[in-house]
Structure 1
Amino acid sequence: MKVAIMQPYFMPYIGYFHLIRSADLFIVYDNIKYTKKGWINRNRMLQNGKDAMFSLPLKSDSDFLDVRDRMLATDFDRDKLLNQFKGAYRHAPYFSQAFPLVEQIVCNEASNLFGFLHHSIVRTCEYLGVSTEIRVASSIAADHALKSQDKVLALCAAVGASTYVNAIGGLELYSTEAFREQGIDLKFIKSMPFEYAQFENDFVPWLSIIDVMMFNPRERIVSELIDNFELA
């Protein structure tokens, strides 16, 4: 069984969904430290021909809390965020097809950050035709006090993984030999570059999956783009 493990992100780029697609089981971390300057609650969209940041506002809290312990800000204005997306993409060719999903995700009433992100990942996978099983890390019987590679190995062992798939950026973080000793094949996924028309602008790559959905029909994403990766 192929297993992939990753922390949750809000409407990440298509490579995140390539990772999920490549696996039989995707484990999403809830018991991992929230990183303030990472991509957990923010991403990039196209605005006036350039990339622009969007984000989920969070309640002020300790920087040492796990993602599952962080909360969305009580004054999070969901309509304001939706209007940002409308302003950026209302003239995109597949706005009417993709926006209902975006609206459903943003209007989710969950106040817990992880719950909100988990819902967004599951719903987006459904839209993209990705049927990989998704499990929450803390629900798996493993030693969650472990860190980095050791924690990954423990989770893989707990679910009976034969292959672990990681993002290509982790090449220097993991030891093929350490995985081999546990009877696990280590693979890395690489998203292949592709372009599509973004109005009449120069193409801006690797934006949020929202951008892909706004400029490409769901049929093309499901039949072609979601499989646009290779394993090494």
Structure 2
Amino acid sequence: MQPYFFPYIGYFQLIANSDVFVIYDDVNFIKKGWINRNTILVNNTPYLFSIPLQNVSQNKLINEIFISDLDKWKTDLLKTISLSYKKAPFYQDVYPLIEKIISFDELNLALYIQNSLQNLCEYLNLNTKLVMSSEIVKNNDLRGENKIIDICIQLGANQYINAIGGIELYIQDNFQVKNIDLKFIKSENIIYKQFKNEFKPWLSIIDVIMFNSLEDTRMLLNKFELI
């Protein structure tokens, strides 16, 4: 999967149910996607936050994108998170982790997000090995499904699990001919208490861990169907 900043819980369901999770950093950056932005709850409403980037272009690979060297965005984002969640039940447990992640001193976007994912996995007690796609020796002339299959072969994988959206992108038979079982994670309807408000689904993992204990969050990670 592409590196996403504080992604939704479905992303961590993929990580939790994999032996190796490949951070797909050597594919083209997508503007207005979820690589450098996500949503949290601000004043009972989903609020889109983002990492400001330098000279962003969809003609560059994700690992060629750099973050703005002005740190004011970090201060502003931390203030927004603090004000929005300071009354959440697990704020005291979670905020130091969020602060550590956002304050990380790295301008390369892929490496910055890799660090965030690693820290979140440690908090969630996920022992999945995280690997950068750019570090895997593979045929970089391949594209799309063929590149995914080649990565699986290089890692000795006998099963590839993708998010449910990939069901329209990948063909079962093309994986099976290489002795790879293709599966998709379909998240169940995940609901939890957000203050006293109407529930807003599929927000950043920040929202999940602010309102759920570590034990309850790990239970939510198992609320999916593998198809």
Give TM class, smaller chain: over 0.9
* Cα drift, residue 37 of structure 1: 1.1
Question: One-letter code of the match for 1:76?
Answer: D
* Cα drift, residue 36 of structure 1: 0.8
* Cα drift, residue 145 of structure 1: 2.0
Q: Is the 8 A contact 1:29 1:137 kept in 2?
A: yes
> Matched residue of 1:214: which SS?
helix
Gaps of 5+ in 2: none
RMSD across aligned positions (CA): 1.0
Residue in structure 2 matching 1:11, options 6, 26, 31: 6
Q: Is the 8 A contact 2:41 2:84 kept in 1?
A: yes
* Cα drift, residue 172 of structure 1: 1.4
Percentage of matched positions with identical amino acids: 42
Q: Report the equivalent of 2:76.
A: 80
Q: Report the equivalent of 1:115.
A: 111
> Matched residue of 1:171: which SS?
helix
1:22-67 CA distance string (max 9 Å, x none): 1111111111111111000000001111111011111124331111
1:2-31 CA distance string (max 9 Å, x none): xxxx00000000000001111111111111
Q: Is the 8 A contact 1:190 1:231 kept in 2?
A: yes
Q: Report the equivalent of 2:23.
A: 28
Question: One-letter code of the match for 2:120?
Answer: T
> Matched residue of 1:220: which SS?
helix
Residue in structure 2 matching 1:210, options 203, 206, 211: 206
Matched, 1:150 2:155: no
Q: What's the TM-score once normalised by structure 2's chain length?
A: 0.97
| Aligned mates of 1:62, 1:227 — CA distance in 2 | 36
| Aligned mates of 1:70, 1:194 — CA distance in 2 | 33
* Cα drift, residue 200 of structure 1: 0.9
Residue in structure 2 matching 1:180, options 167, 176, 182: 176
| Aligned mates of 2:56, 2:224 — CA distance in 1 | 38
Matched, 1:133 2:136: no
Gaps of 5+ in 1: 1-5
Q: Is the 8 A contact 2:138 2:154 kept in 1?
A: yes
1:120-155 CA distance string (max 9 Å, x none): 011101111111111111111110221110000000
> Matched residue of 2:182: which SS?
strand
Q: Is the 8 A contact 2:29 2:57 kept in 1?
A: no
Matched, 1:62 2:52: no
Residue in structure 1 matching 2:160, options 160, 164, 172: 164
- Structure 1 residues 142-151 or 8-17, which shifts more? 142-151
* Cα drift, residue 102 of structure 1: 0.3
> Matched residue of 1:156: which SS?
helix
Q: Is the 8 A contact 1:138 1:144 kept in 2?
A: no
Q: Report the equivalent of 1:228.
A: 223
